[in-house]
Amino acid sequence: MALMKWRKREVWDPFRYLSDLQEDMNRLFDLSLARLPRQLEDIANVEWVPAVDVIDEKDKLRIKADLPGIKKEDVEINIEDGVLSIKGERQNEKEEKNKNYYRRECFYGVFERSISLPAEVDIEKAEANYKDGVLEIILPKKEESKPKQIKVKIK
């Protein structure tokens, strides 16, 4: 027969588990705060890309791009090999030495968006309008690609 050392019976202590939970939470926040400078650096290096909507209508393709704060002289539109490219640059505002920013989310710099166009658009008749920071490009479809309606008489 083996002899076993007598141990005092452990009583369940809910406060001990709370202190363990607090230690775990402290460790979690210490890790998150240690990574914060690297995360802020990653955010600063993000390229700015404007939002673009492509709408397929019956007789044309309409493309809208949100370009707030950009002059129309700073926007370049090209169509080459069935790809529409919108390029431009949003200039940084003058930096004021007296301003302390609480939060700054506006991105500045060069951007480029490329959109593959379907073969049925007629690029020779393309039009572009720019108003209030919204670029709208209209690409009419070729006549042979437009849907045709044929009426069939039922007897």
Where does 52-94+103-145 sit in CATH, by number? 2.60.40.790
pLDDT band with cut points at 50, 70 and 90 for residue 147 = low
Q: 2 pLDDT band (50/70/90 cuts)? A: low
Dihedral sign computed on CA atoms, order 128, 131, 133, 134? negative
> 74-123, pLDDT tens digit by residue?
899 999 988 999 998 887 766 565 667 666 667 777 888 999 988 888 88
Distance between start and end Cα atoms, the chain: 105
Predicted pLDDT at 123: 87
Q: What is the pLDDT of residues 25-70, one digit of tens each?
A: 877 777 666 555 555 555 555 567 888 999 998 889 999 999 988 8
Domain residue extents for the chain: 15-46, 52-94+103-145
Query: What strands, in cross-sheet order, belong to the sheet with 83-90?
Result: 75-80, 83-90, 109-116
Interior/surface letters 3-12, b for 16+ CB within 10 angstroms, e for the rest? eeeeeeeeee
Q: Which residues contact 55 (CB under 8 A, 6 or more apart)?
A: 61, 62, 63, 64
The pLDDT assigned to 32 comes to 60
